[in-house]
Structures are given as structure tokens and as C-alpha cells.
Structure 1
């Protein structure tokens, strides 16, 4: 275990701050970048359930114990993988205007989750504190701090919370639907068609008039267009703020 002395005592050094192990005279050279790259490929192909240090070691052609020189376990491996995925998202956040930054980061996050579906499973939990993850957090926080309705740290926290709630929910829902289509061979439209007779009987009772309108009049919206529209609605709402303040 790699420790660092601080004014508060010895602390475990995060994987991003630990030096790479010294190169060995071994047939297979290793680095954290290579480990993360191969792990991402495995997770893309088999999901997080199909990823383990042992399986990764086999894919790399090394013994599992050798990987522990680079990562202490699966948790640190996921940290490395997630931060690699955040790299292009951080690049997308380099916009001049606050609104453009928020929109670009959100769209890049969706794109990353659709490319690496396992990434969506790791959104919404503890903050991701790798260098690229922190760069994304800084870009979003700095951008929203410039929104007209954000006047202090409390407003900023609420704005970030609202935006993240939308982003995580929207991305996870889209990824879940894609997985469901693959698992069942039935998309949302076909699913509803299959339940058509039952749904018609229920709607004819008159107890669900608004649901009936959605089913009969509503179109199957394109996921990308829906995401862009809803994201813009959320961002514009954050920009305008609320005329009412919650009294404590």
C-alpha cells in the first residue's frame, strides 16, 4: 500500500498520484494507460459484470498479482477507466460561453455513455475525482456560476444538482432502453403494439384520459432530439431561475 505523510498523518495515495511501478524485465510491458484501455474494451464487450482483475490479467497475458502493482483492486481499476472516459468530455467543456459549455459537456456525457454503456452505471454515485473528472466538474461549476440566476454558492449547488439529476436520469433511461431492446428483441414501439388490445381496453374506460392522448396523439420521439430539447429546457430554466425563494 502506497502511503504519503501529511500534516494529518499517513494517507493512502490515490491511484492518480502514485508513480508508475518501475519497469520489469518481463515479456509483457504494463502501464496504467494500457491496463485502463484493455479494461474499457472488456467492459464495452461484456459489461461491468464481465470485468474482473483476473479476466483483465488473462487478456493482458500476465498474472493477476502483477496487476496489483498498478491498481489495488477492482475499485481503483474502475477509477482509472472512468477518468479515461472523462477525457473527451473535459475537452468538450472548453467553450467560451457558460451556456455553450453546459450544453457541450452534457452532450459529450451522453455520447460517452452510449459508447461505453457501463459508464452510465457509474454516474450518479460518489463524485469521480480523477484529473479529467475534476476538470469536467470544474467546467460545469464554473459555467453555471456565470448563469444569470446563480447569485451565490447555494444557487450554484442547486443548479448543479438539478442539471446532474436530469443528465443522469436521461442517460440511464436511454441506456436502459437500448439494453432492453437487445435483451428482448423488441423496441418500445413494438412493445406497446404487443400490448395494444389490453391498453385499448384500459383506455376505453375513460379513467386515463391524459395517458390516452399520449398514446394516440404522441409520436415516438428521436432520443437525440428529445435529449437536446429537454436539456435546453433545463438549462434555460436554470438561466432564468425562479421568482419564488423557499423560506427556511
Structure 2
């Protein structure tokens, strides 16, 4: 029986109150602070003040725990709006915000389908918003937006982690590598890239995300309308 359907064991107050919700909430707190590496069952049990074996009454494997954590965060991803475009835009923005709040989520989204109740509720809202759009267009459209968001937020989180690892923010990185690019472009071997760097738009992360999303939604709208 999947974890979503499996009942919890009866509480044993003499050993300290415990529940699946409390376990997941604590695991998310540990992951938010120190990443997924901090979410071993041993560390989680220590944070809860219980023995590791007691956790197995609520979760059978670490994979189940990760699924529960992802689904709990999906409670924060509730697409809203009038019409499919607003709802898809809301889905993208809410997912990005959730990943920024819970950096570890970038490592877990985009794999096998999540089947928890919060994730299903989010998916239900998105599919329902497609309204009269034919399923042959609606399903690829939703998949395209999800793929765009996953790729975009993973890049942002990768850059954030690189800044922490190197101690260089974007401006410091540009100051360090800028002279090398200038020397390289001066050879004339990469004229198109040189033009992009010198004359192209230099958008911040928010602008980059929303501009790319608009391009994608415009393409979906043109396809649906044709």
C-alpha cells in the first residue's frame, strides 16, 4: 500500500507524540537549513527526539519521506487565475517561488510523477483551467510549461550554489572573467557571441524567467488558436 493510503500507527504519548505530518514538517525544516544531506533518518529521529526505528511505523523508506516532503511543499503551489494562460503563468510563478523557499526541491522535481494529494490538487486546477482546449494540445502545453519551469529554476539554484561555493556573486564573476572574454572576442572568432555580450539585453533573474515564460505562452496560444 502506498504511503498516501497507509494509515499511521496509533500514537504512543508515553514515547512522545509523533505523526507523519510532524515527521515531514521536521524533515523540511532540516532540508531548508542544510539541504537534503541533512535528512537522514538518523538525523531526523534526533531532531524529533525519538529512536530511528520508531520512524518506520510512519515511513517505510527515505524515498517515501522525500515524496511526502515534495507533496507537502505542493500545498504552496496553488495555481489561480481566469483562463488557461493566467493559470499556467500562476503555476510557473508559484513553483519558482516554492523552489526559492525550499532550494532542495530543485533536486526532486521533474522526475517520476508525484501522486500525493496536494500535487494532484495542483494538477487538477491546471487541467481544469484548460477548459475547452483539446487534450491533444492541453497536455503538451502543460508539459512544456512544467519543463520550462524545472529547467529555469534548476539553473537559478545551480547559480546560487555556485555563488556560495566560489564566494563570487554575478558582478564579481563578470569582473573576473570579463577580461578573458574581451581578449577572446578581440580575435574575431566569435562575432555573434560578442554582439550578444556587448549589445544584447542584460536581464536579471526575474526578467529572464518571465520573458522566457511569455515567449512560451505566446507560442502555446498561437498553436491553440490556429
Which bracket does the TM-score occupy, shorter chain normalised?
over 0.9
Query: Would you say 1:45 and 2:45 are equivalent positions?
Result: no
**Is the 1:85–1:112 contact (alpha carbons within 8 Å) kept by the matching residues of 2?**
yes
3-state SS, counterpart of residue 39 of structure 1 = helix
Q: CA deviation at 1:243?
A: 9.2
Q: TM-score, normalised by structure 2?
A: 0.93
Give the Cα separation in 1 of the matches to 2:201 and 2:166: 22
Alignment map for 1:1-248 (pairs within 5 Å): 13-90=1-78, 93-144=79-130, 146=132, 150-151=133-134, 153-241=135-223
3-state SS, counterpart of residue 95 of structure 1 = coil
**Is the 2:83–2:130 contact (alpha carbons within 8 Å) kept by the matching residues of 1?**
no
Give the Cα separation in 2 of the matches to 1:189 and 1:215: 14
**Is the 1:82–1:119 contact (alpha carbons within 8 Å) kept by the matching residues of 2?**
yes
3-state SS, counterpart of residue 77 of structure 2 = helix
Moved over 4 A (4+): none
**Is the 1:144–1:160 contact (alpha carbons within 8 Å) kept by the matching residues of 2?**
no
Deviations 1:61-93 (A, max 9, x none): 000010000000111111111111000212xx2
**Is the 2:88–2:142 contact (alpha carbons within 8 Å) kept by the matching residues of 1?**
no
Q: CA deviation at 1:56?
A: 0.1
Q: RMSD value over aligned CA atoms?
A: 1.8
Deviations 1:182-209 (A, max 9, x none): 1111123321221222211210111211
Q: CA deviation at 1:105?
A: 1.3
Give the Cα separation in 2 of the matches to 1:222 and 1:138: 32
Count of aligned pairs between the two proteins: 226
Structure 1 residue runs without a partner (length 5+): 1-12
3-state SS, counterpart of residue 124 of structure 1 = coil
In proportion to residue count, which structure has more helix?
Answer: 2
Structure 2 residue runs without a partner (length 5+): none
Give the Cα separation in 2 of the matches to 1:105 and 1:210: 35
Give the Cα separation in 2 of the matches to 1:87 and 1:32: 16
